[in-house]
Amino acid sequence: MVLLQLLNSVTGSALNGWGVVPRQLSSLPGILAAPWLHAGWVHLLNNLSGLVVLGCLVSLGTVKRFLAASCFIIVTSGVLVWLLARPGMHLGASGWVFGLWGLLLGQAWFTRSVGNLVVALIVMFFYGGLVFGLLPRTAISFEYHVFGALCVVLYAAMSRPEVDARQGARRNLWN
């Protein structure tokens, strides 16, 4: 992301044309590209700090879990932004950040394990202010925030461990 922002700065934000413009067929590739692009250095640094911290917390389980969750968040929130967001250019990793945040909270709800509850409490203490990012604002793609946080509710529900009655083993759909 830093290298892309450097290139973007040098080229006068030429890469930002790869963001998501809702309901424009030509911007469908933006679903995968938009999270890697930012409107400026401040935008990047705001997203990067949360992405690193929350990503590390999600990775405490396994890197595979982080990668699977990230792919789900990027694609699902991007599709929802493309389908439902306000007209305009949408880009940045904030949907991904809000998705990781929501995943850590959702896992605590669905698994009810002590470890996940402790992580969720820490996340709420340090990142509870993200709740305000879900509110509509004119100059920010709050839609990416909302869709990133909402899509992981589905992901957390699908990836929660279930007890296999025959074998007594715990399994889940995604990890």
pLDDT tens for 73-98 read 999 999 999 999 999 999 999 999 99
In whole angstroms, give the CA distance from residue 142 to residue 135. 7
Per-residue pLDDT at 114: 87
Could you tell me the residue ranges of all domains in the chain?
A: 2-171
Its CATH architecture, for the domain 2-171, is Up-down Bundle (1.20)
- Type and span of the H or E element at 163: strand 162-163
pLDDT band at 172 (very low <50, low <70, confident <90, very high): very low
Burial (CB count within 10 angstroms: exposed 0-12, middle 13-18, buried 19+), residue 145: buried
User: What is the SS3 assignment for 71?
Assistant: helix
Per-residue pLDDT at 26: 96
As a whole number of Å, the CA-based R_g of the chain is 17
Per-residue pLDDT at 162: 62
pTM for this model (two decimals):
0.85
Per-residue pLDDT at 161: 65
